[in-house]
Each structure stands twice: as C-alpha cells, then as structure tokens.
C-alpha cells in the first residue's frame, strides 16, 4: 500500500549494528506509517539471516499482544485482527516479513513490533518497532454554551470532537442570522473549539453552529445559547413598570381593593425577555392585553414594536 511504502521510503530504515558472527538484522521504517481509516496498509519489515528450521517470525501489537507468528513452516494469527492480517510474502522466508492489515480501524492505531529469531543467530538486532497512525475524519462534535448571560457581560461556547486525526480545526458561525456579529466582540480558538463573546447585547441571542474539519471529513453540531437574565439586566424597565404598578395598586386601594402580589416576582423565577414584556402590560392592563402582542423574537423587543400593542402608551404615559 502507498501509505506503508511511503513511510518506509521517505524515512529510510532502522537496523541493528553490524555484527561479526552469526546474527539477525531487522529493518523497519524510521518514520511513523500513516493510513486512512477503512483502507489497507503495509507495515514493512525486512531481515537478514540464514533461514533454517529454527527460524521464527513474530508480530506483536504493543505492549505485548502477539497478533501473528510463523514457525515450523506454519502461520498462526491468534489476535482479534486475524481476519484482516496477512503477510506480503507467505512463507516469509526470503528476507521480507512485511505485514498487511486490511480495513484499517481506529483501534489499530498504535505500536507494532516485528521480531525475527533464528538460533544460533543470537547477535544483532532481531526486532524493529513501527508506529502506526490511523487517519480519520472528526467524529460528531459536542457543542456547549452559556445558557444565561448579562447584557454587557461575556459568554463562552465550546466544541470538541472525540476522534479525528489529524486534529480537527473548529469554526463557529451563526445559524439563520442576517447580520454578522462584530469581530471585535469575538475571540475564536480554532485549535480548541472555544468561542468567547464579549460585551453582549440582544443581538447575540440565537443558534450557533460549530464545524469540525480536517482533510478527511467534517462534522458539525449546534447550540442555542445566551438567554439574557431579564430581572437583573433590564432594571431600568422594571423600575418604571414597578412604579406604574405602585400607582395602580394605590388606585385599587382607594377603591377598597386588596393589594395584589407584583407579577414580576413570579415572572423572574425563569427570567426571559418575553416575560418582562408581559409584565409591562400586566402591571397596568391586567389580562386584557392579547397574547399575540408579545414579541416571540427577542430581537423585536423594542419600543416601536411594543407600541403597537393595546395599552402600551396608556401604561407609560397615561394617554391613549
């Protein structure tokens, strides 16, 4: 396979020192062998010795698992990779002990040892180590983000794939957004998948997508993030509304009505901007305002939009 041969050819070979007497010399690639997941690969191993009846070849998947060995003219494959293993030359008695591995998987990634024994050739280097890397696309990443944030504060989104070789590059973007976020408010780390958003405003609310990619594929995830804490961040609006509610309650007391519990206390148990808009109307108009008037999109939570609802101007100015 080109991946295995390239690893062997470009990096040269590692071999034992020359020896004067009977010895075994094993040569393996100097550089790691790399191949894409799902393809086949060759792990080159060559040796020099005088093969006789005592010759034995063993391949191990480090640290100590024997996956193939040849002895007494018979080939054995005891490991879990048996159905995908073969020798380039069988029998391996002509100086080539190269191992072939089909349908490469992520679990095949690791260190392999090629060892040749041929008593009485006890001298020299009878084994060689090969580092094999499985190349694969990123797995589906996991997206996480700040659920609640403060206007003017910061938020962090994270994205990470468990698998992917080489390491994936991460890129964040907004989903279905007509306007892009200002670059000055974004700090993105494409190596770690972290996105830092600063000086937040309502425009930052929405769905974000993270794309993890390398030269073998890509995968993505989405997260809906940054729901602003209405109770603390719209204090000015709440102050106005609470004041209006106070005026209304005074009016009710003058007519002998009980002092109701302020609605905003219940609304703020799960603070959302649409809750605040409901409270603004409820404080003056009670339940008579149509529910269709509440803006479903938080980006529409503006005075012009609210002024279209019955009771808004009455509540704020006392005029219809």
The pLDDT value recorded for residue 125 is 67
- For position 21, what pLDDT does the model report? 52
Contacts of 195 (CB under 8 A, 6+ apart): 156, 157, 158, 159, 172, 186, 187, 188, 189, 208, 210
Q: Per-residue confidence of the chain (320 residues) as pLDDT tens digits?
A: 333 333 333 334 544 445 555 678 999 999 999 999 999 999 999 999 877 788 899 999 987 799 999 999 999 999 899 999 999 999 999 999 999 999 999 999 999 999 999 887 666 668 999 999 999 999 999 999 987 788 899 999 999 999 999 999 999 998 877 777 788 999 999 999 999 999 998 888 889 999 999 999 999 999 988 776 544 444 433 333 333 334 444 444 444 444 444 443 333 333 334 444 443 434 434 433 333 334 444 444 444 444 444 444 444 444 44
Return the DSSP state at 181: P
Question: Distance between CA 22 and CA 116 in Å, rounded?
Answer: 14
Contact status, residue 67 vs residue 133, Cβ threshold 8 Å: no
Assess contact for 304 and 295: CB atoms under 8 A: no
311 closest CA partner among 294, 301, 296, 298: 294
The residues facing 116 across adjacent strands are 57
Q: What is d(CA 73, CA 86) in angstroms, rounded to the nearest whole number?
A: 15
How deeply is 316 buried, as exposed, middle or buried, from its count of CB atoms within 10 A (0-12, 13-18, 19+)? middle
Indicate the pTM of the whole model. Answer: 0.62
Which tokens go with 282?
Answer: 């409820």
User: How many Cα atoms within 13 Å fall on the side-chain side of residue 203?
Assistant: 10
Question: Residue 282 and residue 284: Cα distance in Å, rounded?
Answer: 5
Instruction: Yes or no: say if 35 and 134 are a contact pair by the CB < 8 Å rule.
Output: yes
pLDDT at residue 229, as a whole number: 56
Burial 207-239 (b: 16+ CB within 10 A, else e): ebbbbbbbebebbbbebebbbbbbbebbeebbe
């Amino acid at each position: 396979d080109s991946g295995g041969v390239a690893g062997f050819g470009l990096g040269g070979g590692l071999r034992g020192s020359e020896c004067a007497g009977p010895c075994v010399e094993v040569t393996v690639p100097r550089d790691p062998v790399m191949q894409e997941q799902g393809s086949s690969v060759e792990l080159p191993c060559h040796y020099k010795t005088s093969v006789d009846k005592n010759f034995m070849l063993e391949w191990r998947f480090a640290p100590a698992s024997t996956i193939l060995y040849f002895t007494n003219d018979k080939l054995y494959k005891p490991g879990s990779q048996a159905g995908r293993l073969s020798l380039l030359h069988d029998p391996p008695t002509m100086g080539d002990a190269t191992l072939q591995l089909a349908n490469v998987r992520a679990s095949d990634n690791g260190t392999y040892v090629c060892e040749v024994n041929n008593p009485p050739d006890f001298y020299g280097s009878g084994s060689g180590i090969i580092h094999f890397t499985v190349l694969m696309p990123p797995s589906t990443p996991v997206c996480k983000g700040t659920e609640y944030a403060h206007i003017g504060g910061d938020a962090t989104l994270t994205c990470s794939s468990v698998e992917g070789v080489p390491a994936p590059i991460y890129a964040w973007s907004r989903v279905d957004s007509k306007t892009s976020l200002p670059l000055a408010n974004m700090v993105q780390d494409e190596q770690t998948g972290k996105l830092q958003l600063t000086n937040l405003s309502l425009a930052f609310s929405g769905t974000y997508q993270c794309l993890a990619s390398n030269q073998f594929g890509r995968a993505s995830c989405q997260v809906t993030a940054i729901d602003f804490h209405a109770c603390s961040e719209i204090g000015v609006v709440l102050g106005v509304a609470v004041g209006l509610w106070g005026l209304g309650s005074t009016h009710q007391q003058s007519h002998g009505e009980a002092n109701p519990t302020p609605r905003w206390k219940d609304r703020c148990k799960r603070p959302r901007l649409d809750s605040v808009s409901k409270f603004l109307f409820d404080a003056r108009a009670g339940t008579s305002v149509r529910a269709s008037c509440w803006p479903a999109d938080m980006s529409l939570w503006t005075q012009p939009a609210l002024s279209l609802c019955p009771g808004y101007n009455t509540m704020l100015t006392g005029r219809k």
